[in-house]
Amino acid sequence: MFKQMSSKTGVLSRFLLRQDRFRIPIWLLSLSGITLLTAQAFTGLYATEENRQTIAQTMVNPAMTAMVGKGYGLDDYTFGAMLAHQMLLFTAVTVAIMSILLVARHTRAEEEDGRLELIRSLPAGRLASLNATLIVVIGVNILLALLTAAGLYALGIESIDLAGSFLYGAALGATGIIFSAITAFFSQLSESSRGTIGLSFAALGAAYFIRAIGDVSNETLSWLSPLGWVTGTEVYVNDYWWPVLLTLGVSLILILVSLYINSIRDLDAGFLPSRPGKTRASAALQSPIGLALRMQRTGIIAWAVGVLLIGASYGSIFGDLDTFFEDMEIMKDLLSGLEGGSLTEQFIAKLMSIIAMICTIPALMAVFKLRGEEKKGRTEHLLGRAVSRNRLLASYMLISLIVGFVMLSLAALGLGSAAMAVLEDGPSLATIYGAAMVYMPALGIFIGLAVLLTGLLPKFTGITWLYLGYSFFVVYLGGVFQFDEWVGNLTPFGHVPEVPIEDVNSLVLIVLTIIAAVLMIGGFISYRRRDIQG
């Protein structure tokens, strides 16, 4: 029975590999590559044991614990302990994301688009597609585990030993496998690929937060989350294998359940009732800006949570700033070029330029959404009705400006509140908020550039990302590489007064604002003049 239902699994597996012949290697190389590069970078960054102990101290605070998990072996913070503490959880989450996307892509998405029907009409078994997907994705995870393990061991770093490296890889692979199984399960329950991906990511998010809360307050709670099991391996410190076995056991059960459900259900059917949506549009939806907001809602909320966390995590290390910097040559380099003010103030100024650039990303995405809609032939629905091009572009730009402002505010508030919690007499929240807000005109220039390109050269909107990448590089690493002044002057972020160590220079801010406005006006004029792609 099972044999017949699995007929042609092998052919389909090869077919999947063929479809993903670029996707899979890119995932594998980037995931294992990042782990290896980080491990290598640690040896340069924290050369002495003293360095490592210093960083270990800064890691012991609730914000860090919530983000990266409980640290193990903090009193003997070897490279291995450090890698497992700072990288394992994040990498595991990324591996989970890879697995979710790969599984959803070949199960429900395939079914929803009607391609599975074609395959099922051939002499392929009912379970063949799910089998093939699981075989391939589990194979990818095993390969990733081996690659990472072998690579880490090959680096020959002290304390990153063979047994530990294999456990490190296995923990990553097992996380990938359990999230493959979870996605396979949801792909049987939900009727749509959006639903499958949504539920799987919700499970991942829940696993992350349950673990975060558990790690900070109640350790038992962490053991309810598969991501708690990952850090529970205590790689390079105690090397526990049983959490990996637990993960694999649960995965096996989930896979068997999914296969069973798949074998008894109809094609295209799901087990979760598809909830009927609204039959009427709410008043908030019935305008171009309402529609644009609705389409970006989830993304904006995710970014808001993200920047708040980034702000808070930076803020939480303020307490140990002095010890942190005394031992670290590279940190001093990063801040060089900044003069005056206390170390804390210098650090705030530096951080804000970086945070502002991070906050530019969601703002740019909000503008480029318009271009995405155009490519999908959906702006036509609006422009074909009584909506002018000015109004349409203005809607997206307004959202972008608000997104930029809100993100910057949230990051500053996150940073400020966390810093206040750990610092006795640090800078006030108002100072920190002000230091963030001076970047608004520079952010506006980027939005302006995005608007201009949307109007003038819609095919080359990617230039904006390159420019932001350049800005990040010269502003972030400017101190380390000692660039000439003009290199930094090519980006608006290089001109923003470094509050709080510098005074607010209104003239500069006004000039930046004017440039932003000119770019925007240029964008509106050219958008009105060009053809709309269909």
Partner 1 sequence: MSVLRTKKLTKKFGDFKALDGVNIEVNKGEVYGFIGPNGAGKSTTIRVLLGMLKATEGEAEIFGMDAWKDAVEIHKRLAYVPGDVNLWPNLTGGEVIDLFVKLRGGNPSNRRDQLIEKFDLDPSKKCGTYSKGNRQKVALIAALASEADLYILDEPTSGLDPLMERVFQESVAELKKEGKSILLSSHILSEVEKLCDRIGIIRQGQMIETGSLKEMRHLTRTHLLIETKQPIPSLEDFPGVHDVKEKDRALSFQVDTEQLDEVIKHISSYEVVKLESAPPTLEDLFMRHYESGGTGDGGEA
Based on CB atoms, which residue is closest to partner 1, 115 or 194?
Answer: 194
Nearest distance in Å: CB 273, partner 1: 13
Based on CB atoms, which residue is closest to partner 1, 14 or 194?
Answer: 194
Site for partner 1 in 121-180 (CB under 8 A): none
Based on CB atoms, which residue is closest to partner 1, 162 or 281?
Answer: 281
Nearest distance in Å: CB 288, partner 1: 7
What does the block give as tokens for 268? 């295209």
Nearest distance in Å: CB 366, partner 1: 16
CA angle 360, 485, 510 (to 5 degrees): 50
Based on CB atoms, which residue is closest to partner 1, 1 or 386?
Answer: 386
Nearest distance in Å: CB 275, partner 1: 9
Interface pick for partner 1 out of 279, 425, 459, 484 (rule CB under 8 A) = 279
Interface pick for partner 1 out of 281, 301, 463, 510 (rule CB under 8 A) = 281
SS3 258: helix
CA angle 309, 314, 320 (to 5 degrees): 140
What's at 243, amino acid-wise? P
Based on CB atoms, which residue is closest to partner 1, 288 or 492?
Answer: 288
What does the block give as tokens for 457? 């050269």
Nearest distance in Å: CB 296, partner 1: 11
Site for partner 1 in 30-89 (CB under 8 A): none
Interface pick for partner 1 out of 44, 156, 273, 277 (rule CB under 8 A) = 277
* Whole-angstrom distance, CA of residue 362 vs CA of residue 505: 27
Site for partner 1 in 367-426 (CB under 8 A): 376-378, 380-389
Site for partner 1 in 92-121 (CB under 8 A): none
Interface pick for partner 1 out of 158, 266, 424, 531 (rule CB under 8 A) = 531
What letter does residue 48 receive in the DSSP assignment?
S
Interface pick for partner 1 out of 18, 21, 278, 459 (rule CB under 8 A) = 278
Query: 């095993």: which residue's tokens?
Result: 142
SS3 511: helix
* Whole-angstrom distance, CA of residue 70 vs CA of residue 234: 9
Binding mask 292-311 for partner 1 (x = CB under 8 A): --xx----------------
Non-local (6+) Cβ contacts of 260 within 8 A are none
* Whole-angstrom distance, CA of residue 131 vs CA of residue 126: 9
What letter does residue 218 receive in the DSSP assignment?
-
Based on CB atoms, which residue is closest to partner 1, 152 or 382?
Answer: 382
CB atoms within 10 A of CB 344: 17
Site for partner 1 in 183-222 (CB under 8 A): 191-192, 194
Query: 């680096």: which residue's tokens?
Result: 155
5, containing H or E segment: helix 2-5
Under the binding rule (CB under 8 A), the answer on residue 529 touching partner 1 is yes
Interface pick for partner 1 out of 30, 43, 217, 274 (rule CB under 8 A) = 274
Q: In 343-388, where does DSSP find H-type helix?
A: 343-375, 379-383
Based on CB atoms, which residue is closest to partner 1, 388 or 489?
Answer: 388
How far is C-alpha 238 from the geometric centre of its chain's CA atoms? 30
Non-local (6+) Cβ contacts of 372 within 8 A are none
Nearest distance in Å: CB 464, partner 1: 24
Under the binding rule (CB under 8 A), the answer on residue 532 touching partner 1 is yes
Based on CB atoms, which residue is closest to partner 1, 39 or 293?
Answer: 293
Nearest distance in Å: CB 293, partner 1: 12
Length of the chain: 534
* Whole-angstrom distance, CA of residue 13 vs CA of residue 442: 50
What letter does residue 155 receive in the DSSP assignment?
T
Nearest distance in Å: CB 344, partner 1: 45
Query: 């101290």: which residue's tokens?
Result: 57
Q: In 317-342, where does DSSP find H-type helix?
A: 321-326, 329-335
Total residues contacting partner 1 (rule CB under 8 A)?
36
Interface pick for partner 1 out of 30, 286, 336, 482 (rule CB under 8 A) = 286
Binding site for partner 1 (CB under 8 A): 191-192, 194, 274, 276-282, 285-288, 291, 294-295, 376-378, 380-389, 529-532, 534
